Structure 1
Amino acid sequence: MRTTDLSELAAFDAVARHCSFRRASEERGVTASAISHAVSNLEARLGIRLLNRTTRSVSLTDAGSQLLAHLSPAFADIGTALDTLNQFRDTPFGRVRMTVPNSIAPFVLGPVIGPLMTQNPNLELEIVATDALVDIVAEGFDAGIRLGESLRDGMTAVRIKPRLSFTVVGSPAYFARRPIPLTPPDLRGHVCIRNMHPSGIAYPWSFGRDGQQIDFEPTGPITLHDHELMIETALSGIALAYVWADRARPYIGSGRLVDCLTDWIEPESPLYLYYPSRKYVSAGLRAVIDILRATPAP
């Protein structure tokens, strides 16, 4: 076989895993047309169709499924073999691709990216920030960061340092018209933004003190899932927002927002970095895990 066969097989492997030429091209760092050309060359030389293509979808033929079943372990072994060479380097070499919720990315990863890359100059770090729940296996990520309750089975979870908490905020103009709530039940007399996951499921404002737990479900006219937009809405003076405390802190410090019910706020569930249980932990991913376990959020 020609020396180019390995790159064509790698292109097919990427397309087959993502069921997308575009996503495969992003993973491989080449154009989608280059990926398509590589797969077409592979099919022509083998004399077998490996993929069913339409204008909207890509799926595996039976032959393609069988080839992928053999290729995936082989490429994993190649990756592991190459990563073992890191023992002969001063710092890890290679790429780590991660997903992290957009709402917490700045204050979870922001403090560590600089030190991580300074200590590991041969590391390539790719971070995709999204609040949607991501299938890291299907999307080709090495790892993700999530709260503990949203982890799937089959994942190895490593607890990392930051613990996050929410806070309730409103603008001075809002509180000039309404009294500051002193207990969670007081919120019934206020206009409160409803919090929603990207999936469309609303979640309550949770409070706790002295062993007492209270979940408040707003019924206001505004429903949002982006914390930055929640803060902007609170700044406008029309409603209270329930947002990550770290995201609101600069506005509270400047006096543009006022936080309340602070003695009812408890730390959220710990954050975890997670990856597939069967996945080999590369030296690069190990460096990311180590720094996240050691560095608390500011």
Structure 2
Amino acid sequence: MKEIHQSKTNDLSAYVAFLAVAAHRSFRSAAIELDITPSAISHSIKTLERRLGARLFNRTTRSVSLTDAGERLANKLRPAMVAIDEAIQEIEGNRDIPSGTVRINASEGAIRLVLKPVLARFFRAYPHVHLDIVSDGRLDDIVAEGFDAGIRLAEAVPQDMIAVTVMGPVRFAAVASPGYFAERGRPSVPQDLLHHDCIRFRFESGAIYRWEFERRGGTERINVTGRLTLTDQPLMVEAAMDGLGIAFVPDHLAIGGLRDGRLERVLEDWCPEFPGLCLYYPGHRHVSSGLRALITTLTSSDGPASSMMPR
């Protein structure tokens, strides 16, 4: 009986594979995360289900979901795995040289603005640290999903997290090409946008962003219309430069077009400033040496917190 119990509890890799599939709802995505083949993941899960005598996943050709038994097992295992990971990171944190894997969850824009500019310098300085960066705009619970930290706008950081500013305030700009304004005219107040082609932004949730304007304490939110809707802000800037309409984007994305004359601003005194980007992590968890090294890089004098602050 003792040997049977040990066979059920000692295969840690099977539980790691199970939690990866549970998090991604995909055998293929879990295999990518763990750097093994999908067939190895499938075999591990089948073996675990056979050992436990319970089906853990409902599988179809299009989806993977947890069964009731799988949900209960995942809820029990996640805290245990976090504790194991913290114990390992604490040992690694005692080393003089930062090392280990740091998992970061961030929106695509945050990755481009905050992480991409420092990656080469970071890896040169800390060759023993591995960064696992996941692009995600859904504002997932980083603790539940097994991340060490996230990067989001300051206003979106949960209150129970420790937040470190990694990029200053972000100001938005309404921009279009000179040719567009010559043909369609220039809006002088936000309501004028209802008579223009606006390049809309769609969140990953599917919601369309309502443009927000502020002036002298007053706020206006405009549900703009237009023939083009995108999920990528740099593409919105390119579309505006091509004369397809007015884009409303963080002004640092449009600075190149504004400098060379391919874009012009409108409604400048209406465009608001939003709190900048923060790296955040749970205060109750040990901060690994790798994460500390990343924070140091991002907040240094030549990091994005200073050099990429919009002006």
Asked if Structure 1 and Structure 2 have the same fold, meaning a TM-score greater than 0.5 normalized by the shorter chain, the answer is: yes
Measure how far apart 1:279 and its partner are. 4.4
Q: Secondary structure at the match of 1:207?
A: strand
Shift of residue 30, structure 1, vs aligned partner: 0.9
Give the Å deviation of 1:12: 2.9
Deviates more, 1:97-106 or 1:25-34: 97-106
Q: CA deviation at 1:276?
A: 4.7
In structure 1, distance between residues paired with 2:239 and 2:38: 40
Aligned length: 296
Q: Pick from 201, 205, 226: which aligns with 1:195? A: 201
Verify the 8 A CA contact 1:16 1:60 in the aligned structure 2. no
Q: Counterparts of 1:25-44 in structure 2 under 5 Å?
A: 25-44=31-50
Q: What SS does the corresponding residue of 1:287 show, helix, strand or coil?
A: helix
**Equivalences for residues 19-98 of structure 1 within 5 A:** 19-44=25-50, 46=51, 48-49=53-54, 51-55=56-60, 56-60=63-67, 62=69, 64=70, 67-98=73-104
The amino acid across from 1:54 in the alignment is R
- Relative distance call for 1:189 and 1:73 in structure 2 (3 A) is closer
Judge which range, 117-126 or 266-275, deviates more.
266-275
Q: Any idea what the Cα deviations from partners look like across 1:53-109, whole Å, max 9, x if unmatched?
A: 4223242453x5565455433332322222223344333211122222223432222
Specify the code of the residue in structure 2 equivalent to 1:84: E
Question: What residue is the counterpart of 1:176 in the other structure?
Answer: 182
Distance in 2 (alpha carbons) for counterparts of 1:189 and 1:16: 47
- Is the counterpart of residue 14 in structure 1 residue 20 in structure 2? yes
Cα shift at 1:14: 2.9
Q: What are the ranges of 5 or more consecutive residues in structure 1 without an aligned counterpart? A: none
Change (3 A) 1:157 1:43: same
Question: 1:285 maps to which residue?
Answer: 291
| Residue identity (%) | 40
**Aligned pairs for 1:82-161 within 5 A:** 82-137=88-143, 139-152=145-158, 155-161=161-167
- What SS class does the counterpart of residue 262 from structure 2 fall into? coil
TM-score, normalised with respect to structure 2: 0.79
Change (3 A) 1:129 1:251: farther
Aligned-partner Cα distance in 2 for 1:290–1:15? 33
Deviation digits for residues 182-231 of structure 1, max 9, x if unmatched? 44344455332333323232333223344343333323343333213322
SS at match of 2:237: helix
Aligned partners of 1:136 and 1:142 also within 8 Å? yes
Partners in 2 of 1:189 and 1:69 — Cα distance? Answer: 51
1:248 to 244, 254, 259: 254
Q: RMSD value over aligned CA atoms?
A: 3.1
Provide the residue aligned with 1:257 in structure 2.
263
Alignment of 1:156-167 (within 5 A): 156-167=162-173
Structure 2, unpaired ranges of 5+: 1-5
Q: Which residue number in structure 2 is paired with residue 205 of structure 1?
A: 211
- One-letter code of the match for 1:21? F
Over 3 Å counting, the alpha-carbon distance change for 1:143 and 1:33 in structure 2 is same
**Bigger shift: 269-278 or 31-40?**
269-278
Tell me how far apart the structure 2 counterparts of residues 104 and 80 of structure 1 sit (CA, whole Å): 26
Normalised by the length of structure 1, the TM-score is 0.82
For 2:67 and 2:292, locate their aligned partners in 1 and report how far apart those are by CA, in whole Å: 33
Secondary structure of the 1:199 match is coil
